[in-house]
Amino acid sequence: MGWRDSAGGRRVPVVLKVLAATLGLGILVLAVLASPTRSLSRSQHTVGEREMVRITGPTGRTVEALAIIDTGASTSSMDTALARDLGFDLAHAPRVTVASALGREERPVVDAALQLAGRSFVTQVNVNSRAKRETPVLLGRQDVQGFQVAVGKRLLTRPDAAVAPSAVRILFAKAPSIDAVSLMALLPLAALLIVLLRVVVGLNTLGTFSPVLLALAYAQSGLPLGLALTAVMFALGFVVQPLLRRLHLPRVARLGVLIGVVTTGLIGTQLALGAADLADSFGTTLPVVVTAIITERLWEQWDLDGVRAAAVGAALTVGAAILVALLMLTPYVRHVAEAVPLQLAVVCAVWTAVVGTYRGLRLTELLRFTPTARSQGVTS
């Protein structure tokens, strides 16, 4: 059970081949995830439409929040709850009249210390409720003078430096961070990772490329919201599955009902939470049809193999989706996807074909069969 090298004709154990391939996969993933942060723009003075900012209040409390860079607004503003959390005395703060699309209103004004893309400054910020807005902070043009705003780009910097935040920090942000072209270029890379996990490692998920689509949703909506809504929709699917089975509906009708249930759950959650941006941040990226299919396969595995097998399948699927999302959000990978999207797609397609030629034992098979082989005295 092995293969011969071209030099001396020696028989090399298959286990070494699989371990080498797995080690190469691990080194590739770790190298990408641990790659040094770097600027995603050509200029150190370029920021995206959404950036993380650091705000310091009068008590010294500091909070990092997502801010929208709006050059159409003259002044900056922050959410009332955020201002109170930072320790600002809004009751005794001076007030100004602000004109907006909603009309004219009086708002308290506070002096706040802000940090954006490595630049620190103190500015006057008016305070109003932004509970139904996508970001708790808005930066007007008077506070972003000297910066170039990259249209369509998001999360290009950290508050303390003009370099991109880590993949983990982006994954926990609450705004889409990848533009459409880069997102399209990253799909072949995500597919390559899934092929490696399935062909070399032997990872079985609920659906071949369902982790890729879930990863797109997590990368665009943020991991906390993505996992919460995925769990809710899986739960809703499990509630209606027994009823659908009793009705003896064909598979296409069951999937249609599940799609309706998943969509209803998403809309109901949005209405219950009053989150105006929920549909924009998650509803447009959540693969509703794929979620319905995953739910059905999860139920089938539960019915055939038991609760434990279904739980393992769900955990592997979500875990693979998180790994893919982290890979896609890594600063170096985002830079490559933005700079050379066409070349990245071609290279990933070629390497996917190369990986697909692997015919050796998978890592999970080695782990499962090695004890039996040793007990029978079989050597690789």
Between the alpha carbon of residue 236 and those of residues 49, 144, 220, 266, 302, the distances in Å are 35, 45, 23, 11, 15
Identify the residue with better confidence: 164 or 77.
77
Domain shared by 232 and 326, yes or no: yes
**pLDDT, mean of residues 59-84:** 89
**Does 214 map to a domain?**
yes
User: Within the chain, what is the greatest distance between any pair of CA atoms?
Assistant: 85
Domain shared by 29 and 88, yes or no: no
The CA-CA-CA angle for residues 356, 362, 368, to 5°, reads 160
- Rounded to whole angstroms, the Cα distance separating 144 from 165 reads 19
Q: What is the model's pLDDT at position 40?
A: 52
Domain shared by 55 and 30, yes or no: no
Single residue among 163, 198, 233 that ends a domain in this structure: 163
Q: What is the model's pLDDT at position 14?
A: 54
**pLDDT, mean of residues 179-200:** 85
Domain shared by 65 and 144, yes or no: yes
**Does 380 map to a domain?**
no
Residue 129 has pLDDT above 80, yes or no: yes
Domain shared by 148 and 197, yes or no: no
The C-alpha torsion from 307 through 308 and 310 to 312, rounded to 10°, is: 160
**Domain CATH for 52:** 2.40.70.10
**Does 168 map to a domain?**
no
**Does 74 map to a domain?**
yes
**Does 171 map to a domain?**
no
- Rounded to whole angstroms, the Cα distance separating 33 from 166 reads 8
Q: What is the mean pLDDT of the chain?
A: 78
Identify the residue with better confidence: 293 or 93.
93
Q: What is the model's pLDDT at position 7?
A: 44
Q: What is the model's pLDDT at position 86?
A: 92
Domain shared by 156 and 267, yes or no: no
Q: Each residue of 24-64: pLDDT tens digit? A: 666 656 655 555 555 555 556 788 888 889 999 898 899 98
Residue 280 has pLDDT above 90, yes or no: no
Structure letter (DSSP) for residue 367:
H
- Rounded to whole angstroms, the Cα distance separating 345 from 338 reads 12
Q: Which domain holds residue 104?
A: 46-163
Single residue among 114, 139, 163 that ends a domain in this structure: 163
Q: Each residue of 199-210: pLDDT tens digit? A: 888 888 887 888
Instruction: Enter the tokens of residue 9.
Output: 């004709």
Domain shared by 114 and 11, yes or no: no
**For the whole model, what pTM was predicted?**
0.71
Residue 286 has pLDDT above 80, yes or no: no
Domain shared by 183 and 87, yes or no: no
Domain shared by 259 and 358, yes or no: yes
Total structural domains in the chain? 2
Domain shared by 64 and 14, yes or no: no
Q: What is the model's pLDDT at position 5?
A: 43
Q: Is 93 helix (H, G, I), strand (E, B) or coil?
A: coil
Domain shared by 290 and 205, yes or no: yes
Q: Are 55 and 62 in contact (CB under 8 A)?
A: yes
**Does 170 map to a domain?**
no
Q: Are 113 and 9 in contact (CB under 8 A)?
A: no
Number of alpha carbons in the 13 Å side-chain half-sphere of residue 23: 6
Single-letter residue type at 189: L
155, 156, 170, 308: which is closest to 226 by C-alpha?
Answer: 170
- Which runs of E-coded beta strand occur in the chain? 2-4, 11-13, 46-56, 62-69, 76-79, 95-100, 103-116, 119-128, 137-139, 148-154
**Does 335 map to a domain?**
yes
Domain shared by 204 and 286, yes or no: yes
Q: Are 214 and 230 in contact (CB under 8 A)?
A: yes
Single residue among 116, 140, 163 that ends a domain in this structure: 163
**Does 296 map to a domain?**
yes
Q: Are 109 and 90 in contact (CB under 8 A)?
A: no
Q: Give me the residues paired with residue 64 across strands.
A: 54
